[in-house]
Structure 1
């Protein structure tokens, strides 16, 4: 049976890597075949087919619930009920709608919307809203966060921005929102948002700096309701009853073990209900329930059995859970502890039990974090050594008890005040540690080297005395310093990052690196920090020789500060030096300036008569082995005409479409002078500016230019000087991604 359960888990997990879902006919064939195999006792294959079929059926239901293409980009009046906990931000509010309906249109079951400058919204309210609807989408970069996968895993069928609205009915049965409002209203020494995150799972009140500190110290799991918190509460209840029974304080007529397991599971479910019972909480409750059942009846089956059952239980309830990084991290952490503690001879003293798990988890999760593309905290073992018991034994009990006792005057508020002070002290210590040891974003590691690293981690988790265990260290560290193929002399590795309605391109020769524009920033939403900087580190960039900011508009230079703060930048050049932050030390763009890196020529140009920001864009021409790339920023038609009089106006292989393909650029004369073979367009899907304009698109088509649009293709990567075809991020097929046009 264990083999069958393992095969079922494999079938459910295969969904994560499917390029496309099988048709209905193939699903029926798999189900019939699975039923036919059962009488012949071929359980593994039958269970595998059952798992794969159920996962594909569930995923197809989620895809079928997406917004129809005909409604994409339309503004409709819809009615719906607010679910979950709305997230108030400095710019507005984000929330989800369920039971939505619109006239003459079928809507998805769940819609995620944002309302810029909108009024306070409460869970349980019913609203009538004018929403510009969009199909689920997101930025797609190499080794970056996949927004489309996350939205599908949440079963969100559409997103949208609210233009106007009216409240139709007040909140009903919104007790979680009431608890949140009560927690945010008490005096918790400035950590009210942190307590709301711990008690009800609402982390929207934590600041960006808070999340950075948690990420740098590897303690994010402590501020979200995870298996650790639910398991800790269940463990406290179990230990309390066991202690009472041991000292004769428990009624003899009540068997203590069934009561301990039952009440511990009840406490876990109650905490899960308070946290909203989302997918991660469901996963934690299933795991706790199976562990308690194993403790009650099936201890003879070993430790791996409940983990396998929990894995299958979670995936049967929600097959799309495998699309979320938290799923892999939670099960991997438990597997690491079982592998490290199970089957060892002798006992560990209190110091070893306290210190060793953190080091073992850090070692075991290293390959998992690496393959998921997540930052790796080098200070996590030390930080968690203090933070885990402090949160589990001090902050969380005080916070939960204080929340329960809030109806009693002074008592609940006093406990929450103490919990907030304890949490604030922890954050101060973590911030100090993060200032010295920030999180490390490793560069891309080839699959072969990652597999070797994974093998090394497993070897190190085995008991002492296992043959070749010492080889685990060099195998593990191979992922830290993998051999890399350098860019050949005379060539440039070019990557147009997907930064939405903005622009950022990375150019690397054999020994030098240049960043052309740094992505957009709007308020606290900084894609320089969220996309550009992590992407640079993923490509192994340790420093920039030049950061060239075409001009000072926020969609081109908004992320420059984040990049400069995250990486050493030797030189910054800009088209509008006076409008850029002074600390960057920006040098002016000088027409005719030329330099050569590793056999590749770079030359600048700027229209001397320009008066506004777009026209003053600093243009860069790159030439490698006779293949040319022209980066134009946001120049307009007048600047284009002036450019045609320069020595750089020659036939071009690659052209970055001026001003994201707007109607005010890409004039016929300009395009006829350059005759670009390929065109790069960086813009946001469904942007408010209508980029690229249909007339501009028609001009490129008339010239026979191949257009690579970030909104349709994601990030684009090619080797200038090799005359090779580019690679686009969306070419890596996954069943949840829209197909290339």
Structure 2
């Protein structure tokens, strides 16, 4: 039976690694084949086919529920019910709408919407909204967060921006949102957001600084992911009833064991529903239910069997859960603990058990965090050593009891005030640790190095005395000190990062690094901090020799401050340096300045008669082994005419589309003089400016210029000096992404 369950798990997981989904008819054929194999006792293969077909069918249903192409960018009136816990920050209300309907138009069942300057929206309310709809699409960058996969895992078929709306019905059965509103109204010593996260699993109230502290100390799971707290609550309820029965305080007419198991599971399930019933919560509830069921039957269950059944159960309920990092981290952490403490000879003292658990979890999860592209907390073992018992045994009891007693005014307020103060002490302690040692963003490594590191972590989890165990350390450290790929002399590697409606281009030679523009910042969304800086670190960039900000517009310079604060920058130049923040200490772009790095030539140009910020853009020409790239910022047709009178008006292989391909740029004169073979366009999908303009695209196509568009292909990697086509993120096939363009 266990072999069959393992085969079922492999079949359910196989979906995660498919580049494309097979034909829909295959999902109907595979279960039939599996049934035909059962009489031949080929149970593992049959179970694998069942799991694979069920996962594939669910993925196909989710993809079929996405917004139709002809509705992308359209504004429609939509009716539906608000679900989950709406979030409001910086004047923006974000929420999910389910059971969405529109007249004469089929819409996805689940929508994720943003309402700028909108009124308060509560869970359970029914609304009629005018929504500009968009197909699910996210930024695609090397080893970055996959927003497309995240949306698909949550079965969200479209996103949108609300233009107008009216409430049709008040909230119904929105008990979680009601509890949140009451929690937000109490005095929690300034920690209402953290208290809400701990009780409800809603992290919307945590500030950016709070998130950074939790990430740096590896304690995010303590306030948002409540799996271990559910187990603790179930254990307390079980032991309470067992203790009452032992001392004769439990009613004799009620058998204590069934009641203990039933009440423990009810407590776990109730807290799970309160916390949103996400993947870690489902895993905990399923494992607790199985353990209690076997305990009720007086059978020894072991540890691996409940974990395997919970694993299959979570994926059977929602096969797309495997697309979420939380799924892997939740099960992997439990598996490390089971493997570490199971089958060992001789007991450990309690303090040995506790300290070793933290270090071994850190070692066991290190390769997984690297594979998922997540930061690794260096202070995590020590932070969790203190924070886990503090939250579980000191903070959680008054927080949950105060929430249960909300109808009792003074008692609940006192308990929640106490819980808030205890959380504040926790954050102060974690902030001290985070200030000393921040999270490490590992550099992406080749598959073979990652496999060696995984093997090293496995060896280190083995008991002492096992042969070859010491080899685990050098194998694991390969993940940290992996050999770096070095560029040959005279070559340059160019990355046009996918930053939406903005620009950020990384240029690396053998020993030097340059960043041209730093990505956009709009309001509280800083893509320099969220996208550019993590991408630089994952690509192995620890510092910049030069950050060249073409001009001061927010879509080009917005992320500069985050970059300068995140990694060392030796020099900052800009075509509009006086308009940049003083703390950047930017210098002016000097037209005609030239230099060479490792055999690669660089030259600057700026229009001396520029009258606005766009025209002031500092233009950079890069030449490697005779292959040229021209980075133009946001110059317009007037600046382009001036450029043609300068030294950069020479045949150019690669052109970064001026002003994102706007109608006022990419003039016929410029294209005739430069004769580019290919153009790089950086822009946001469905942007309100209409970039690139159809006339400009037609102009490129008429001249046979290959177009590489970040909105369609994600980040683009060019090896300048090799005269070869670039590599794009869309070539890294995933079944939830669209196919790569058929022609360029």
Task: With the length of structure 2 as denominator, give the TM-score of the two structures.
Answer: 0.98
TM-superposed deviation, 1:203: 1.0
Identify the residue that residue 378 of structure 2 maps to in structure 1: 378
Residue 95 of structure 2 aligns with which residue?
95
Matched, 1:403 2:403: yes
- 1:309-388 paired onto structure 2 within 5 Å: 309-388=309-388
SS in structure 2 at match of 1:77: strand
- Unaligned 5+ runs, structure 1: none
Cα RMSD after superposing both structures:
1.2
Mapped to 1, the partners of 2:572 and 2:665 lie a distance apart of: 26
For 2:373 and 2:257, the matched residues in 1 are separated by 43
Structure-1 residue corresponding to 2:569? 569
Partner of 1:514: 514
CA shift for structure 1 position 253: 4.8
1:567 and 1:205 map into 2 onto residues whose CA distance is 28
Alpha-carbon contact 1:279-1:318 (below 8 Å) kept: no
Deviation of 1:538 after TM superposition, in Å, equals 0.4
SS in 1 for 2:129: strand
**Once the 2 structures are TM-superposed, how far is the Cα of residue 26 of structure 1 from its aligned partner?**
2.1
Aligned to 2:530: 530
Counterpart Cα distance in 1 of 2:384 and 2:673: 61
Residue correspondence of structure 1 range 79-478 to structure 2 within 5 A:
79-297=79-297, 299-478=299-478
Q: Distance in 1 between matches of 2:320 and 2:259?
A: 34
User: Greater CA deviation, 438-447 or 300-309?
Assistant: 300-309
SS, match of residue 663 in structure 2: coil
Residue aligning to 2:699 = 699
Q: What residue in structure 2 maps to residue 608 of structure 1?
A: 608
Contact 2:500 2:683 (8 Å CA) reproduced: yes
Render the CA deviation track for 1:495-547: whole Å, top value 9, x for unaligned: 00000011101111000000000001111111111100000000101110000
Q: Please list, as runs of the form range in 1=range in 2, the aligned pairs for 1:15-30 lying within 5 A after superposition.
A: 15-30=15-30
SS at match of 1:490: coil
Shift of the alpha carbon at 1:254?
A: 4.0
Structure 2 counterpart of 1:481: 481
2:549 corresponds to: 549
1:579 paired residue number = 579
Give the direction of change, closer, same or farther, for the CA distance of 1:298–1:146 in structure 2 (3 Å limit): farther
Q: In 1, distance between residues paired with 2:617 and 2:430?
A: 42
Q: Tell me, in whole angstroms, the C-alpha distance in 1 between the residues paired with 2:257 and 2:214.
A: 37
CA distance in 1, matches of 2:554, 2:715: 20
Corresponding residue for 2:627? 627
- Tell me, yes or no, if the aligned pair for 1:294 and 1:306 is still in contact at 8 Å: no
Q: Distance in 1 between matches of 2:146 and 2:530?
A: 13
Match of 1:504 in 2: 504
SS at match of 2:137: coil
Deviations 1:294-336 (A, max 9, x none): 4444754532111111100000000000000000000000000
CA–CA separation in structure 2 for the residues paired with 1:242 and 1:352: 28
Q: Per-residue CA shift, 1:372-393, capped at 9, x if unaligned?
A: 0100000000111111111111
CA distance in 2, matches of 1:729, 1:491: 21
Task: For residue 204 of structure 1, give the secondary structure of its aligned residue in structure 2.
Answer: helix
* Equivalent residues of 1:652, 1:674 under 8 A apart: yes
Supply the distance in 2 between the matched residues of 1:290 and 1:29 (Cα, whole angstroms): 32
Q: Which residue is equivalent to 1:718?
A: 718
Q: Report the Cα distance in structure 2 between the residues aligned to 1:256 and 1:352, rounded to whole angstroms.
A: 34
Q: Is the Cα contact below 8 Å between 1:517 and 1:550 reproduced in 2? A: yes
Shift of 1:738: 1.3
CA distance in 1, matches of 2:174, 2:709: 44
Contact 2:24-2:60 at 8 Å conserved across structures: no
| Preserved contact between residue 545 and residue 570 of structure 2 (Cα < 8 Å) | yes
CA distance in 1, matches of 2:646, 2:350: 75
Shift of 1:432: 1.3
Q: Distance in 1 between matches of 2:476 and 2:670?
A: 53
Q: How does 1:683-694 map to 2 (within 5 A)?
A: 683-694=683-694
- CA shift at 1:25, angstroms? 2.6
Check conservation: 1:287, 1:307, Cα contact below 8 A.
Answer: yes
SS in structure 2 opposite 1:112? strand
**Whole-angstrom CA distance in 1 between matches of 2:147 and 2:360:** 31
For the Cα contact (< 8 Å) 1:594–1:602, is it kept in 2? yes
CA distance in 1, matches of 2:290, 2:649: 70
Task: Give the secondary-structure state (helix, strand or coil) at the position aligned to 1:530.
Answer: helix
CA shift, 1:238, in A, is 1.9
CA distance in 2, matches of 1:656, 1:296: 68
Of 232-241 and 726-735, more deviation after overlay is shown by 232-241
In the alignment, the residues of structure 2 paired with residue 455 and residue 31 of structure 1 have an alpha-carbon distance, to the nearest angstrom, of: 35
How far the C-alpha of 1:368 sits from its partner, in A, is 0.5
The answer to whether structure 1 residue 39 and structure 2 residue 39 are counterparts is yes
Distance apart, 1:465 and its partner CA: 1.2
SS at match of 2:409: coil
Alignment of 1:648-663 (within 5 A): 648-663=648-663
- Asked if the contact 1:649/1:673 (under 8 Å) is kept, the reply is yes
Q: Distance in 2 between matches of 1:218 and 1:24?
A: 41
TM-score (norm. length: structure 1): 0.99
Total equivalences in the alignment? 741
- Residues 254-263 or 334-343, more deviating: 254-263
Residue of structure 2 in register with 1:731 after alignment:
731
Give the corresponding residue for 1:666. Answer: 666
Distance 1:707 1:472 in 2: 47
- Distance in 2 (CA, whole Å) between partners of 1:353 and 1:235 is 19
Displacement of 1:280 after TM fit?
4.1
Structure 2 vs 1, CA of residues 51 and 298 (structure 1 numbering), >3 Å: closer, same or farther?
A: farther
1:287 Cα deviation after fit: 2.6
Conservation of the 8 A alpha-carbon contact between 2:279 and 2:327: no
